[in-house]
Structure 1
């Protein structure tokens, strides 16, 4: 095994391990806080769902890619390849739609009372769970085609139209239909990314107007601290911008892989970029979102208030 393969395997291992640890911490924290009866923001339920699907993205792609980077290319059969790629694709699409839902919901929440979004403010908390279930149903159905076309690394020897993904392969459409297929499959993603860019611009404009209003009312030498709602908006803006950046780079490489005969390093790079947002996003939330610190302190306070074990009382 060459040193390049070892370096790739270690990169995927570190990315998957730390990302899964961060997402699992957030998922466990929000779940425990919810179970002990503390009040969560409507946006927190979206963050719980985002942490869960990001864990799925990392584990379904990071573990197989790590094994492939270490030279284990034939560890999955046809069924294994179908399940791994299907779970990853569904989780990846759910990460996209959940991030879009996060951006749109926060834009509605911080919109002024005089805007056209005011009638949706009270409805946002009511329909978050329904939207998540709808996204699951939609993406599980639309990605079922993967269960037909994905094959194991040895299951496609007699098929002329195949595409190799290091440890798995897939039958592809005839060349005349590839462009149409890619366009149809990419159209929803383009719409979601467009919505995120639009809501991001809207939230930036609202924050800028709020900042100008604060400067006007308090003067430049007496600027109060931003309210928690504005800090949460800034965190979401950072998350969405990071998602769009990594997603765009990954999409470009994915197109090169699909339409060409890429070297293995290009496939590894594409997968690594796809895992960057799920790996970094929990730590951005932990560092930037004051509510996460508040929930952590609340949980620690609950733990400290529990009766301490004393062996002398037995």
Structure 2
């Protein structure tokens, strides 16, 4: 009876891991394709468009960080889930952790930079500091993007430098299971330090994102109310640009906040309890990959510039007026405002 019971449990675990592996394969593959498409699109803009939008630099670096994040951890996690063997030594495991942490931190910080740039751009505040930032925002985007790369690479250097290989007794080390590899870390590396180093930045990013995005929604809604009487004749035929931008912000922030917090909480649990359910590790990897995998499709579906590029690639390019008709002069002015976000 015990043998049959253990066999059944083992089969259920294998089946569950296979399902998670297939889900990871679909998620990683779709996410990489979406981000590569964005990279291709923005490279085309940088090379052939005379005056690209300043915000395109943030989208490009965000797509690049998301691609690295999915490739560094999503691909090996998918291979393990599908039953393929991966042989990584301690150096290889630490290198993957380092690259993934840099890409993840960069992705989160660039998302905050994107929201911060938007609230400064559309803000009507008369404060001198806000006015100065608004005047120089477009010039600061590229330096800030490269600064984020340098900053997060330096911050995460400790993954290589400070976590040494311990070959001593089990009392001096503990094993940190990553799913596709295991890393030896000092036993003195407690969960409180893990929360401070790994989770506290996530909570700060989430708090900033919620605050700034909430302000963006309020600004767009206020502008929508101010010009609502001009749109009355066309409200039934076309959703206003402000509402479209508001929905985009809400979807983007919901994905960002929910999956970032869920992954951080589950990561703390997995770090604290070494013996846990085997399916939690691939589940944590799925949660971590949700934002970089879904966000490119949010941008693609809401940016008319990207949609035009997509249709032109497939030989279905139409005139701009037939694809995205503008009902009035007021609609044109509001679309200029919201295009800074979309």
Q: Which segments of 5 or more consecutive residues in structure 2 lack a partner in the other structure?
A: 1-10, 318-342
Q: 1:78 aligns with which of 72, 75, 90?
A: 90
The Cα shift of 1:3 comes to 2.8
- The separation in 2 between residues aligned to 1:106 and 1:219, in whole angstroms, is 24
Please state if 1:52 is matched with 2:64.
yes
For residues 106 and 237 of structure 1, do their structure 2 counterparts lie closer, same or farther at Cα, with a shift above 3 Å needed?
A: farther
The Cα shift of 1:205 comes to 0.8
The Cα shift of 1:70 comes to 2.6
Q: Which segments of 5 or more consecutive residues in structure 1 lack a partner in the other structure?
A: 304-314
> Is the partner of 1:122 in helix, strand or coil?
helix
- The separation in 1 between residues aligned to 2:162 and 2:270, in whole angstroms, is 16
The more displaced of 69-78 and 275-284 is 69-78
Q: 2:301 aligns with which of 287, 290, 296?
A: 287
- The separation in 2 between residues aligned to 1:207 and 1:281, in whole angstroms, is 21
For residues 85 and 284 of structure 1, do their structure 2 counterparts lie closer, same or farther at Cα, with a shift above 3 Å needed?
A: same
Contact 2:65 2:106 in 1 (8 A): yes
Residue in structure 2 matched with residue 266 of structure 1 by the alignment: 280
TM-score (norm 2): 0.78
- The separation in 1 between residues aligned to 2:168 and 2:24, in whole angstroms, is 29
Residue in structure 1 matched with residue 138 of structure 2 by the alignment: 125
For residues 271 and 61 of structure 1, do their structure 2 counterparts lie closer, same or farther at Cα, with a shift above 3 Å needed?
A: same
> Is the partner of 1:55 in helix, strand or coil?
helix
Q: CA RMSD in A?
A: 2.9
Contact 1:162 1:170 in 2 (8 A): yes
Contact 1:110 1:229 in 2 (8 A): no
For residues 54 and 219 of structure 1, do their structure 2 counterparts lie closer, same or farther at Cα, with a shift above 3 Å needed?
A: closer
For residues 270 and 101 of structure 1, do their structure 2 counterparts lie closer, same or farther at Cα, with a shift above 3 Å needed?
A: same
TM-score (norm 1): 0.84
Residue in structure 2 matched with residue 90 of structure 1 by the alignment: 102
For residues 194 and 29 of structure 1, do their structure 2 counterparts lie closer, same or farther at Cα, with a shift above 3 Å needed?
A: same
Residue in structure 1 matched with residue 325 of structure 2 by the alignment: none
- The separation in 2 between residues aligned to 1:89 and 1:243, in whole angstroms, is 16
The Cα shift of 1:35 comes to 0.3
The Cα shift of 1:252 comes to 1.0
Please state if 1:249 is matched with 2:279.
no
For residues 164 and 257 of structure 1, do their structure 2 counterparts lie closer, same or farther at Cα, with a shift above 3 Å needed?
A: same
- The separation in 2 between residues aligned to 1:225 and 1:114, in whole angstroms, is 33
The more displaced of 113-122 and 130-139 is 113-122
The Cα shift of 1:227 comes to 7.1
